[in-house]
Amino acid sequence: MKIAVVKETLQDEARVALIPALVAKLVAEGHEVAVESGAGDAAQFADEAYAEAGATITADGLRQADLTVSVQPLVTDQIWALQSGSATISFLPPAQSLERVSNLRDCGITAFSLELVPRISRAQSMDALSSQSLVAGYRCGIVAAGLLRRFLPLNMTAAGTVPPAEVVVLGAGVAGLQAIATTRRLGAVVKAYDVRAAAAEEIRSMGAQAITLELESLEGSGGYAREMTEDRADRQRELLAPFIAAADALITTAAVPGRTAPLLVTAAMVEQMKPGSVVVDLAAETGGNVEGSVPGKVVAIGGAKVWGAANVPSQMPQPASRLLAQNIVNLIALMTDGTALSPDFDDEIVAGCCVTHGGEVRHQPTQELLGSSAAKETSP
């Protein structure tokens, strides 16, 4: 099978879909790998390293590829350069990529979305959302420590005692737990809350205090929380307000792929925080957990600095690429028969993450969105 690794075109995307060590593994298995020149530069993987791993360095390997892998979804020109019947693997949020999905369908491309890999035990090694959330959670903890102009740990000296900083983390998924672990390792006193009752034990296992509110649990499917009513959201914000006001740093990580992030913290709540406090909103790109956060910027709300996340895994491109590349290689292995790509659509992992195949949109929610979009365009 001929596999192409493209250079990312999105500004500030520093990750790469395959790293040299895994290219060598694919070559050893009998695959041909073509890497677009400079694809790994931003992640500190030079062309020479790919060449030593057995890859061909090329200016454009798309037209000959059976499978094209990338971090971000391919742009229109790249899609139309692919040969019909070939396949792609990348992040591809279908609801936000309807034009791309239409192009992939019309070009006869089989497209697999890393966002849609089912959250089941057998798919854990292919779960790119989790691997990249691990990187993002760590980065959020480091950002909070860097912006906060005080010690995180307790310090006892002859000149006096400096108490530890207090950090509150909202959301205890992969990113939230990693943010807890990171700030705990740096010596902060950490408290955390998640709407799922089962998360309390995980929070405590990381050495943090689980915040308990007198509210119903919102356990959902796939490890995510159920959407809450506005009345419950208002009550939750009211009960969380004193914990947030007392915190030196607040990190919010609540997000559900394909949906707007829940508003957990209002601007008024941030204004009650102490002068010099820090807020890190990992969900800023999808609407924000914190009212007033701006993706890619630090803004002031009251006396607090609010850092809005923007493609956080790309801010640590080397480890993020290592983890992502392994996810992709594991997915390739699942869909490969010998050295040929042979996806089994009876497999729930393959079927679950397939967006287009054989000139059709296979992902039902996306198919419905495209149908409603087409109906609007043709209506008088």
- Residues annotated catalytic, as ranges: 119, 124, 127, 130, 224
| Angle subtended at Cα 266 by Cα 264 and Cα 269, rounded to the nearest 5 degrees | 105
What gap in Å lies between CA 223 and CA 196, rounded to an integer? Answer: 9
Q: How far apart are CA 369 and CA 356, in angstroms?
A: 14
List Cα–Cα distances, 151 to 59, 147, 154, 166, 277, in angstroms. Answer: 49, 11, 8, 10, 12
Q: 114 and 129 in contact (C-beta within 8 Å)? A: yes
Q: Torsions phi, psi of 115, nearest 5?
A: -65, -25
- Residue whose token pair is 């594991």: 330
Give one DSSP letter per residue of 113-173, joined into a string.
EGGGS--SGGGGGG-HHHHHHHHHHHHHHHHHHHHSSS-SS-EEETTEEEPPPEEEEE--S
**342 phi and psi, to 5 degrees?**
-145, 75
The CA-atom distances, in angstroms, between 128 and each of 14, 26, 323 are 16, 19, 8
Q: How far apart are CA 284 and CA 295, in angstroms?
A: 5
Long-range Cβ pairs for the range 370-375 (8 Å, 24+): 370/98, 370/101, 370/102, 373/98
Q: 317 near 136, Cβ under 8 Å?
A: no
Distances (CA, A) of 360 to 31, 58, 106, 363: 27, 31, 8, 9
DSSP-derived pairing of the beta strands 67-69 and 56-58: unpaired
> What's the one-letter identity of residue 300?
A
The continuous run of DSSP H or E covering 98 comes out as helix 98-106
- The CA R_g of the chain, rounded to the nearest whole Å, is 22
